[in-house]
Copies of this chain bind each other. A is one copy, B any other.
Amino acid sequence: MERVNRLIISRTGSRVTMIPEVANHLISSGGKRLRPMLTLATAALAGYRGTGHINLAAAVEFMHTATLLHDDVVDSSTMRRGKIAARMKWGNEASVLVGDYLLGQAFKMMVEVGSLPALGILSSAAAVIAEGEVLQLSAAKNTETNEDEYLAVIRGKTAELFAAACEVGAVIAERSKAEQAACRSYGMNLGIAFQLVDDALDYGGTSSALGKNVGDDFREGKVTLPVVLSFRRGDEEERAFWRRTLERADVQEGDLERAHQIMRRHRALEDTIERARHYGAIARDALALFPKSQMKTALLRAVDFCIARVS
Contact = CB atoms under 8 A, between A and B. Distances in A.
A120 B119 CA distance: 11
Nearest to A115: B116
A131 B70 contact: no
Contacts of A14: 131, 134
Interface residues of A, number: 42
Interface stretch (A89-97, A166-174, A207-215, A233-241): A89-97
A187 B98 CA distance: 25
A222 to B, nearest CB: 14
Interface string A107-149: 1101110101001100111111111011101100000000000
Contacts of A126: 100, 103-104, 107
Contact of A114 (B73, B100, B116, B133): B116
A38 to B, nearest CB: 20
A18 B138 contact: yes
Nearest to A100: B130
A138 B108 contact: no
- Candidate in A116, A128, A130 with the most chain B CB atoms within 10 angstroms: A130
A126 B133 CA distance: 21
A71 to B, nearest CB: 9
Contact of A103 (B98, B103, B119, B120): B103
A105 interface: yes
Contacts of A127: 101, 104-105, 107-108
A92 B108 contact: no
A101 to B, nearest CB: 4
Q: Is the interface of A mostly helix, strand, loop or mixed?
A: helix
Given A104-B124, A107-B123, A124-B108, A131 B19 contact: yes
Nearest to A133: B97
B16 A100 contact: no
Contacts of A108: 120, 123-124, 127
Interface in A50-66: none
Contact of A97 (B19, B107, B111, B130): B130
A138 B97 CA distance: 12
B16 A135 contact: yes
Given A16-B131, A16-B135, A73 B92 contact: yes
Given A18-B134, A73-B96, A98-B130, 9 more contacts: A16-B131, A19-B131, A92-B92, A100-B130, A101-B131, A104-B125, A104-B129, A107-B119, A112-B120
